[in-house]
Amino acid sequence: MDPVLGGLLCALIGAYLTAHYKSVEHKRIEVAKLTKFLRDTASALADMREMLRNGKVPTSAGNRLKTTISGFHDVLQSAPLSSNERARLIGLLFDIEQCLVAGQAEDDYLEGKILHRPESDLADALREMDRVSARIEGMAIVLEAS
């Protein structure tokens, strides 16, 4: 092989490999950001659930959860996900928002703004928070493994 062609071929292969590994590293960084975000969300939801379970007003935990999910679309937009994974995460955001609504209702009851609510409402809300938190953790595990 001509030394000039060999040198050119080596340069092209080197450029390709450099670009490929930068792309892989970028994907790894974006997935790590998304999994951290999901774990932070699950932690905030778990804190809110635990406070409710103990009969405490979960205002701080609820505010932390609201603050955490406020960046949801930005994190989701930059994450290298399939359309199916993206759709599942968007559906999960709806579930998290429903947990916030249930938490706010219980917060209002504990503060005396609502005088009566069925005990089953709290039990249902806690069960839903457990379910959503587990789904969030599961998605984080799957993303880390991919």
What is the DSSP annotation of 87-144? Answer: HHHHHHHHHHHHHHHHHHHHHHHHTTSS----HHHHHHHHHHHHHHHHHHHHHHHHHH
Token duo for residue 1: 């092989």
Q: What is the mean pLDDT of residues 19-43?
A: 83
| pLDDT value for 107 | 87
Q: What is the mean pLDDT of residues 54-60?
A: 89
Angle at 105 between CA 101 and CA 111, to 5 degrees: 140
Asked if the model's pLDDT at residue 136 lies above 70, the reply is: yes
Residue 68 C-alpha from the chain's centroid: 9
The per-residue pLDDT for range 87-96, each reduced to its tens digit, is: 989 999 999 9
| pLDDT value for 27 | 82
- 94's CB contacts (< 8 A; 6+ apart) are none
The domains of the chain are located at 26-145
Place of tokens 């939801």: 45
112: left (phi over 0), alpha (psi -120 to 50) or beta: left
| CATH T-level fold of 26-145 | de novo design (two linked rop proteins) (1.20.1440)
The per-residue pLDDT for range 121-132, each reduced to its tens digit, is: 899 999 999 999
Asked if the model's pLDDT at residue 3 lies above 70, the reply is: no
Is the separation of the CB atoms in 102 and 129 below 8 Å? Answer: yes
Mean of all residue pLDDT scores within the chain: 85
Residue count of the chain, please give it: 146
Go through 27-37 and write b for each residue having 16 or more CB atoms within 10 A of its CB, e for each that does not.
Answer: eeeebeebbeb
